[in-house]
Structures are given as C-alpha cells and as structure tokens.
Amino acid sequence: MSEQKRAAVILAAGKGTRMKSERAKVLHPLAGQPLAAYPARLARALGCDPSVLVVGHQAAEVEQALGGEGLHFALQQEQLGTGHALLCAADALRGFSGDLLLLCGDVPLIRRETLERLLAYHAAEGAAVTVLTAEMVDPKGYGRIVRDGAEVLRIVEEKDASQKEKLIREINTGLYVFEAPFVFEALRGVGRDNAQNEYYLTDVVAAARVAGKKVRALSVADPAEAMGINDRVQLAEAGRILRTRINQAHMLAGVSLVDPACTYIDAGVEIGAETLIHPNVHLRGATRVGPGCEIEPGAVISDSVLGAGVHVKAGTVMSEARIGDACALGPMAHLRPGTVLKGRNKLGNFVETKKATFDEKAQASHLTYIGDAEVGKNVNIGCGTITCNYDGVNKYQTIIEDDVFVGSDTQFVAPVRIGRGSLIGAGSTITKDVPAGALALSRAEQKTIEGWAERKRAKQKKS
C-alpha cells in the first residue's frame, strides 16, 4: 500500500458497565443513530480505507446494526484494555503503512473539521503519535496530559494519577493519529502494570518517546466535541448538544423552528426551506420533509417522505408513508406503513390508514379505517367508513375507483371493487362489487309507526 494512505480503527468492544444496560453501549441511540455510527461515518467521510470497528461485547448485534456503514470488523474476545483493543485490529491492517486515525465508539460529537485539523497537524509535524486533547472544566474520569512545555511526556489515567496530576485540566479525548505500522510494534511492548490491570493505549505515548519518535498534542477548541459517553446522564447531555447542532443547521438553511429546545429531529432528516415546525415535533429516521410545510405540535413522523406544502396537524403520527404535495393531515391522524397519498389529499381526525394508496384529491375527513386499499381520484369517504380487510387469517384488497362518493358509516367487506363514479348509501355493508355509475345500498328499509311514542307515554301515565 502507498505511503499517503489513511485508515481508521474505531474502538467499540467495551460493555459500558456504567450504562447499566443489557445493550452494548455503542448501540444506544443518539438522535436516532447508534453511538458508533457517528465515528464510523466520519471515518468514511475522511476517506479512511479500511475502517475497522473493534467489536467484543455483543459483537453480533453491533456488526448487524452497523453492517451498512462499509466497515471491517475485528473481534476482541476479552476486553483487556484500549491498547489490547487496537492490537486486535492489527491483522485487518496487515501491510498498511500510513496515518492511522483512532476513534472511539463512545465519542460521537467530534466534528469532521477537527479530525481534518488533527490529521494535517500530525502530517505537518512528522509525528508518530498525535493525540487530540481538550481543556475540561471538570476533567474527572479522563486521562490527563502530562507535558513538559510543548512536549507530551505521557498520559496518566485518573485511577493512576497523583493528586498533583489530577489537577491537570488538559485531558485525553481518546482520539489520535498514529503512524502505522509503528504503533503496533510499540503496543506489543506495553504491559498492564496499572490500577486497572489493563493494556492502556495511552502508554504508546511514552513508548514512542523511548523509541525517539515525535509525540504531539492538538487541543480541540470546543470541549463539548470531546465528550465521551459513559452513562445515561452523558448520553442525554450529548443528545441535547447534537440536537442544538442539528436544529441550528436547519434554521440557518431556512427552516423555522418555533422552539428549537423542544424540537426533536434525527441526524440525517432533510427539511425544505420555509417549512414551519412547532414545538414537540419528532422527525425520525429517514424522513424527508418538503418545502413550505407546516408541522403542528405533537406530530411524530418516522421514515416518511412529505412533498411541498403539506400541513400536518397536531398529534398526527405517521411511519413509512409517502405524502404528495399540498396534503392536509390530522389532527390526530394515524398513517401507518405503506400509506401513499398522491397529492392534495385530506385525511382528518381519527383517520387510520395502512398499505393504502389515495389518488389525487381523494379524502377521508373523519373517523375512518382504510387498510389494504386503492382509492381513486376525487373519492370522498364519509365519516365512520371502514375497510373490513381481515378475516382473521388473510388480508384482502378494497378498490375504490375514481369519483366514488362513499356515504357515512359504510363497511367494505374485502375483497371488493367499487366502480368509477358510483355512490354508496350511508350505513351500508358492501360485500359485493359495485359497477360504475351505480347506487349501492344495503340496509333494511325504515319503518315508521305514527303516534306510537305518544300512545306509549299515555299508557305509562295511567298505570
């Protein structure tokens, strides 16, 4: 491999004991993505090839969750420390010579520009080890940078630090650039004679100095970037920081957030300009919202695509739905997976849909369930209409062609097809296909007995 190459190792084998969780720490979600997805994506964006994720605790689950990120995986059977973890990636990097970026699965807030600065500084200095550091107001728990002026002498862990060293506020972010393959040689000489009886990656600093190599440190301007997630308090705090970043980026791109502190937008969600988002809205997963939309309080939108000018009213929930331009939804509509609205549709309060396509301008304004259905253009579905799509074993289709008018309180017992332009009388249970242009009614004729109620009341008074 050529000299200029760049590779990455991401450490993610630890259990994360302080999370008090059955789930591996790096799988805990932050703005909708597992923690380890953040360093994984940065490594890829920086052109690191290969990027090796060191897995151990819940290795299979971690590999599955991050399978789509273009990573190689290396297994660390037993978690013997960060130094041992990097050594476990040595095989995957056999023959690699160049800059090795070391990231941590539990340090998700670091910015791409900061890592670019780190790589550039490492190259400019001709260093063998360049550690990214930060000045922390409260350095507790982190490794401390022990310097002699500009020289980095060593890194000492909190648990091994003297009282004097504990006062040092410059900490190790746990992110580095190393010269490979030198770092692997250096690590093979590192022991575990320390408070935690672990192989410390931080000990390569001292090892590099002994080998006569240059060690450098670069301090990150914003210490929030360096935050390591060890417990759920820090996870929530990181969520708040990331949310602020995400929301600011949307606002600067032309999206209005009434109260950004109470707006929950996952990383990777796209929103068009001039869209207005009210408080307590959640936009999750692979959601894309078009321009000029309005999303009212309490809407929860997951993995859905919304066109332009869509009005989502309060309390509406949708997932895996595709919404065309100028639709109005809710309040309190429930659009389940497979809902497709072609455009200018209206689904009103307490309307539930699933695997249902509504062609342009078709609408259902109140209290309706439409599942496994195709609804044609301009169809009007009256209040209380239900598709009876399920017989306890199988699901069946309801097809309603263009320009049909469905009276209120209709049940469509699927499979059934309603021909174009026909009319369904209110209160009907439709079990048979209806031809185009017909009127279908299925209800007992009304019986009216004049004077009956008056006579009954008169009788009751006498007795």
Question: Which chain residues interact with Ca ion by CB under 5 A?
Answer: 228
Q: If contact means CB under 5 to 8 A according to the sort of partner, which of Ca ion, ligand UD1, none does residue 76 touch?
A: ligand UD1
Q: Which two tokens stand for residue 396?
A: 């069946």
Candidate ranges 67-75, 79-87, 267-275, 438-446; the one touching ligand UD1 (CB under 6 A): 79-87
> Which parts of 47-66 interact with ligand UD1 (CB under 6 A)?
54, 56
354 is in an annotated binding site: yes
The structure tokens 């000045």 sit at 135
Asked if residues 145 and 131 have their Cβ atoms less than 8 Å apart, the reply is: yes
CA distance 399 to 374: 5
Candidate ranges 82-90, 261-269, 371-379, 387-395; the one touching ligand UD1 (CB under 6 A): 82-90
Asked if residues 383 and 347 have their Cβ atoms less than 8 Å apart, the reply is: no
Other CB atoms within a 10 A radius of the CB of residue 430 amount to 23
What are the Cα distances from residue 327, in Å, to 14, 84, 181, 394?
47, 56, 58, 31
Site string for ligand UD1, 150-179 (x = CB under 6 A): -----x-x-------------xxxx-----
Residue type, 211: A
DSSP conformational letter for 444: P
Candidate ranges 81-89, 178-186, 231-239, 321-329; the one touching ligand UD1 (CB under 6 A): 81-89
> Which parts of 134-153 interact with ligand UD1 (CB under 6 A)?
142-143
Residue 366: active-site member: yes
The reply to whether 130 sits near ligand UD1 by the rule CB under 6 A is no
Q: If contact means CB under 5 to 8 A according to the sort of partner, which of ligand UD1, Ca ion, none does residue 79 touch?
A: ligand UD1
Q: How does 349-376 read in b/e, with b if 16+ C-beta sit within 10 Å?
A: bbbbbbbbbbbbbbbbeebbbbbbbbbb
Interface residue with ligand UD1 among 32, 81, 298, 419 (CB under 6 A) is: 81
Residues 6+ apart with CB under 8 A from 202: 82, 83, 143, 154, 155, 156, 157, 172
The CB-nearest residue to Ca ion is 228
Q: Quick one: which H or E segment has residue 125?
A: helix 112-125
The CB-nearest residue to ligand UD1 is 143
Other CB atoms within a 10 A radius of the CB of residue 408 amount to 17
Q: If contact means CB under 5 to 8 A according to the sort of partner, which of ligand UD1, Ca ion, none does residue 312 touch?
A: none
157 is in an annotated binding site: yes
Task: For the CB of residue 104, give the shortest distance to ligand UD1 in the complex, in Å.
Answer: 4
Active site positions, annotated: 366
Q: Which residues bind ligand UD1 (CB under 6 A)?
A: 11-14, 54, 56, 76, 79-82, 84-85, 104-107, 142-143, 155, 157, 171-174, 200-202, 228, 230
Residue stretches of the annotated binding site for acetyl-CoA:
389-390, 408, 426, 443
